[in-house]
Structure 1
Amino acid sequence: MALGGGMSCVKYLLFCFNLLFAITGLIILIVGIKAQINSWPYIDLTDENFYTSGPVVLIIVGIIVFIVAFFGCCGAVKENHCMIVTTYCAQFSVFLLIIFIAEMAVGIAGYMKHSDLEASIVRHLNETIDQYPTNKEVAKTFDIVQTDLECCGIKGPEDWAAHNLTIPSTCCTGIEINNSMAAQCTSSSPGFHSEGCLDKLVTHFKDIAMVLGGVGLGIALVQLLGVIFACCLARSIRSQYETV
């Protein structure tokens, strides 16, 4: 049944709200995917599960938000009372009880994980650096970190000597390869990484946590206000429909 002429304004408000809601869903989805990509190469360097589960939660939430908002847009355009009311009831119950809590949890966890992060990374690096010559996975992780972040060792290049190991070639940028052998990386080599990896890793993970936390808290509050507004509109639509 079509909405009355007096409800045209409500219809467009509902469409705009759902469009905004869909955009926030896409923002959450994109931020979650980007955080997952940025943390994945270094995820083995910390025991904090937040950097694995946090982005996944946002990805799932973003998909759900976008799908529900899409059906809301369809209901508003088609003036489908059943679709509109059903959608907003679902938004109010499901979003407030599940999605809102999930976003808030990610946001709060993103800020709380700062204090535990450095200790977790230091412990893992100290436990694995001795395995660099024998463990391919450990070597791959160290090489990725030292290449991408342009760093060397844990707190500095001297960590390799402290563990009776030669400085890896990934501690230098632009190492030349002659006869399939990479030239030795030393402190006097061009492009030598003089900074340790710990501070850069902590900064990298904290940036991810801040983004996840900011998006989780910010979008959750915006969506809470939006859902309350949508419920008021849905109630108005139901009242208008029942009086026809």
Structure 2
Amino acid sequence: MALEGGMSCVKYLMFCFNLLFAITGLIILIVGIRAEINSYPYMNFTDENFYKFAPIVLIIVGIIVFIVAFFGCCGAVKENHCMIITFSVFLLIIFVAELAVGIAGYMKHTDLEDSVMRNLNASITQYPVDKNVQKTIDIIQTDLQCCGINSPADWADHGLPIPSTCCSAQEINNGVVADCTENSTNFHSKGCLTKLVVHMKDIGMVLAGVGVGIALVQLLGVIFACCLARSIRSQYETV
């Protein structure tokens, strides 16, 4: 009786955990999608693969979590030893993947500034001739309300005029948009380097926090699953 009562308790705890597990999967999926959206097109200015692949990893993990939660719920309700073991293995793999994303996020953000600086310097010279580079820089200067790398003077240092995206909502006189200059009312006086690094670091820290935090929650799932599988096996051996 004590064994059956203990197994029943673990079974219901396991079932409740899987409901939580499904919610964490949804959180992972949403965070991954938002990170993918928020990092575009900024990821083009860093060589750190973490910012390119971490959101995709979380999206894939989030989808897999729903499948794993199904195995966990069915295994707990039916007291199926094989399904519980399958659940434990999948959960352990997910735990390792999320922990890896979390650790990489905390480690890689320290090298981000040098990578962004290097890529911005290489890109600004290509601004007049490369339409893709021009589009990306224009988006960054518009979204982050910045201009140049360290300051707007970087454009003149490279022998280039200040782009119109260094200003917000330029006035239109007789159908002609006014030139963007340092004297313009809505001129972006701050450089893009600091703002871009802060933006990317914020994304990285969110990914790292979600990866590590949810991985620790899912570690409890592995423990519950192992306890339930052991209880089921012990019951069969007793019978």
Helix, strand or coil for the counterpart of 1:131?
coil
Letter in 2 for 1:90: T
Which of 92, 95, 99 is matched with 2:88 structurally? 92
Q: Say yes or no: does 1:81 pair with 2:85.
A: no
Aligned ranges 1:150-169 → 2 under 5 Å: 150-169=145-164
Report the Cα distance in structure 2 between the residues aligned to 1:6 and 1:229, rounded to whole angstroms. Answer: 12
Note if contact 1:153-1:159 (Cα within 8 Å) is conserved in structure 2: yes
Partner residue, 2:205 = 210
1:58 is matched with: 58
Provide structure 1 residue ranges, at least 5 long, that are not aligned to the other structure.
none
**What is the match of residue 37 of structure 1?**
37
The question of whether the paired residues in 2 share the 8 Å contact of 1:88 and 1:227 is answered with no
Residues 1:121 and 2:116 aligned together = yes
Local SS of the residue matching 1:113? helix
Distance across 2 between alignment mates of 1:71 and 1:179: 67
**How many residues get paired?**
236
TM superposition shift of 1:177: 4.3
Corresponding residue for residue 183 of structure 2: 188
Matched letter for residue 112 of structure 2: L
Name segments (4+ residues, structure 1) moved above 6 Å: none
Q: What is the distance in 1 between the residues matched to 2:200 and 2:84?
A: 37
Q: Please tell me the residue identity of whatever aligns with 1:221.
A: L
Corresponding residue of 1:221: 216
Mapped contact 1:68–1:87 kept (Cα < 8 A): no
* Aligned-partner Cα distance in 1 for 2:51–2:43: 7
Q: Match for 1:233 among 228, 232, 236?
A: 228
Cα contact 1:160–1:166 (8 A) shared by 2? yes
Amino acid at match of 1:163: H
Deviation readout 1:77-103 (Å, 9 max, x if unpaired)? xx3232xx333212322332x322211
The alpha-carbon deviation at position 176 of structure 1 amounts to 3.2
Secondary structure at the counterpart of residue 43 of structure 1: helix
Which one-letter code corresponds to 1:71 in the other structure? Answer: F
1:40 offset after TM fit, Å? 1.7
Q: Which residue is 2:193 aligned to?
A: 198
- Residue aligned with 1:153, SS: coil
**Cα pair 2:167 2:188 within 8 Å, conserved:** yes
Secondary structure of the structure 1 residue equivalent to 2:180: coil
RMSD: 2.0
TM-score where L is the length of structure 2: 0.90
Cα distance in 1, alignment partners of residues 117 and 18 from structure 2: 45
Task: Provide the C-alpha distance between the structure 1 equivalents of 2:145 and 2:113, rounded to a whole number of angstroms.
Answer: 19
User: How far has the Cα of 1:238 moved from its partner?
Assistant: 3.5
In structure 2, the gaps of 5 or more residues are none
Question: Normalized against structure 1, the TM-score is what?
Answer: 0.89
The equivalent residue for 1:17 is 17
Once the 2 structures are TM-superposed, how far is the Cα of residue 128 of structure 1 from its aligned partner? 1.4
The alpha-carbon distance between structure 1 residues 229 and 12, as it changes in their structure 2 partners (threshold 3 A), is: closer
Q: Do the aligned residues in 2 keep the contact of 1:157 with 1:195 (CA within 8 Å)? A: yes
Distance 1:11 1:89 in 2: 14
User: What is the 5 A alignment of 1:143-154?
Assistant: 143-154=138-149
Is 1:149–1:197's contact at 8 Å kept on the other side of the alignment? yes
Secondary structure of the structure 1 residue equivalent to 2:230: helix
**How far, CA to CA, are the matches of 1:72 and 1:241 in structure 2?**
20
Q: Find the aligned partners of 2:227 and 2:59 in 1 and give their Cα distance.
A: 28
Q: CA deviation at 1:140?
A: 0.3
Alpha-carbon contact 1:106-1:216 (below 8 Å) kept: yes
